[in-house]
Amino acid sequence: MALKFREVIATALPSEEGVRARLAGLQAQDWTELAGRFGALLPEFDGIIALPGAQQLAELLAYTRGVVALHAVRHATTGHWTLPQAERLTGDVVIVTEHLTDGLAELETMLLCATKGLRVLAVVVAVERTNAAGRIRLELQRVTVLSAVQLADTPVGLVFERRTPQSMAR
């Protein structure tokens, strides 16, 4: 388990704003342990698609596995996702996201990948919100979801998930 990352998130609980601010303030060295752990758990793949906010984690994971990382972009006017330089990737990819909630951005990115002939093997998540439907939406597409930290919404704010973990701690 990526203990340092969990400790970093613990300092921001129970505030949702605190967690988001903490994630936004992380530097490359803060993501290193997590990237190494994900790199060890994932099957073979050909490239990485990073969603906004997850670029540092994606770049480090790409480095550990010797693959290319591309950054998905949402157009401000249309709201549609694009994948600049998609021609650099073929085969199997992993999507990396910083904060999984409803899973819609990840699902839209999966659809974009499909139009480019890419097969999504897994979605790698730094922080997963277990009360949202993100994991369910993605797993219904037969995609593995690996999360470093799972947080549950409670009346007092965010807490570490205490139900059976689906995280990479297994």
User: Domain boundaries in the chain?
Assistant: 3-160
Residue 22 and residue 9 in contact, taking contact as beta carbons nearer than 8 Å: yes
23 Cβ neighbours under 8 A, 6+ residues apart: 53, 98, 99, 126, 127
Per-residue pLDDT of 3-55, as tens digits, reads 688 999 999 999 999 999 999 998 888 899 899 999 999 999 999 999 999 99
Structure confidence at residue 165 as a pLDDT band (50, 70, 90): low
Instruction: Report the pLDDT value the prediction gives residue 88, as an integer from 0 to 100.
Output: 87
Average pLDDT of the segment spanning 105-132: 95
Instruction: Report the pLDDT value the prediction gives residue 2, as an integer from 0 to 100.
Output: 61
The phi and psi torsions of 166 (rounded to 5 degrees) equal -110, 10
Instruction: Report the pLDDT value the prediction gives residue 166, as an integer from 0 to 100.
Output: 57
Structure confidence at residue 122 as a pLDDT band (50, 70, 90): very high
Q: Per-residue pLDDT for 168 more than 60?
A: no
Structure confidence at residue 169 as a pLDDT band (50, 70, 90): very low
Residue 72 and residue 83 in contact, taking contact as beta carbons nearer than 8 Å: yes
Per-residue pLDDT of 59-116, as tens digits, reads 999 999 999 999 999 988 888 899 998 888 999 999 999 999 999 999 999 999 999 9
Residue 164 and residue 143 in contact, taking contact as beta carbons nearer than 8 Å: no
Given the candidates 3.40.50.2020, 3.40.50.150, 3.30.70.1060, 3.50.50.60, the CATH classification of the domain at 3-160 is 3.40.50.2020
Amino acid identity at 2: A
Distance CA 38, CA 141 (A): 21
